[in-house]
Structure 1
Amino acid sequence: MSQFENVTVVKAANVYYDGKVSSRTVLFADGSKKTLGLLLPGEYEFGTEAAEIMEMLAGDVDVLLPGETKWQSLSAGESFNVPANSKFGINVKTVADYCCSYID
């Protein structure tokens, strides 16, 4: 899906790591939520409350998922799942565009 219809977008950005990571929250009529964001090159760690599906729209990253010891390389068109109440590492190699879906 390349676009979302009939949504509400929160104007205020979610900004992390001194502006190197930012996203906007998109709210859907059914109560679901996604964020659309941009990651600048660097290494970051994020914590989750809800389970997430991270879809890479552009760029190249390596991710270290909870319980894993080996980094996994991903590019545009690929995705990864993160369990609720966990942390994951992401090493952004090139500017990356993503869509994060929150799973209840």
Structure 2
Amino acid sequence: MISKELLDIKVMTKANIYWDGKVISRTYYRKDGSKFTLGVITAGTYTFDVGDKEVVSLIAGEAEIILPEEKEWHSVKTPDIFEIPAHSQYQIRTPEVVEYLCDYIPD
């Protein structure tokens, strides 16, 4: 479960805006230098390319995803966590607003 309050972090003021503003996040760094984003996904279907490995924790809402090497949609809902391997692609779709925290794990 994700804490409702995050302490001792650095935040980048420039938003990450995707899909004409339908997906928006902000980048943060912990004291140890690890990077994560907090974001919102609005209703729709989206495909994302992944650089570093991503560990996504749902904070609010539910969605369906197709991870690399998968062919079928499967449901995820708060407080589920899912991982996307580095240098891959995944799909997510949702009929509602989803909030998430995404940790980036360098190769």
What TM-score does the superposition give when structure 1 sets the normalisation length? Answer: 0.96
Shift of 1:79: 1.2
1:29 to partner: Cα distance: 1.6
Aligned partner of 2:95 in structure 1 is 93
2:9 alignment partner in structure 1: 7
- Counterpart CA distance in 2 for 1:76 and 1:94 is 13
Offset of residue 55 of structure 1: 0.6
Q: 1:28 aligns with which of 27, 30, 39?
A: 30
Report if aligned partners of 1:59, 1:93 keep a CA contact under 8 Å in 2. no
Number of equivalences = 104
Aligned to 1:77: 79
Q: Distance in 2 between matches of 1:54 and 1:82?
A: 8
Unaligned 5+ runs, structure 1: none
Distance between the aligned counterparts of 2:37 and 2:60, measured in 1?
Answer: 15
Q: Secondary structure at the match of 2:24?
A: strand
Q: Which runs of 5+ in 2 are unaligned?
A: none
Q: Considering only aligned residues, what root-mean-square deviation do their CA atoms show, in Å?
A: 0.8
Aligned AA (1:31): G
Q: Tell me the distance in 2 between the aligned counterparts of 1:27 and 1:51.
A: 16
Identity %, equivalent residues: 38
Return the alpha-carbon distance in structure 2 between the equivalents of residues 49 and 31 of structure 1. Answer: 17
Deviation at residue 62 of structure 1 after TM alignment: 0.2
- Distance in 2, matches of 1:39 and 1:74, equals 14
4+ aligned runs moved over 4 Å, structure 1: none
Within 5 Å, give how 1:41-56 maps onto structure 2: 41-56=43-58
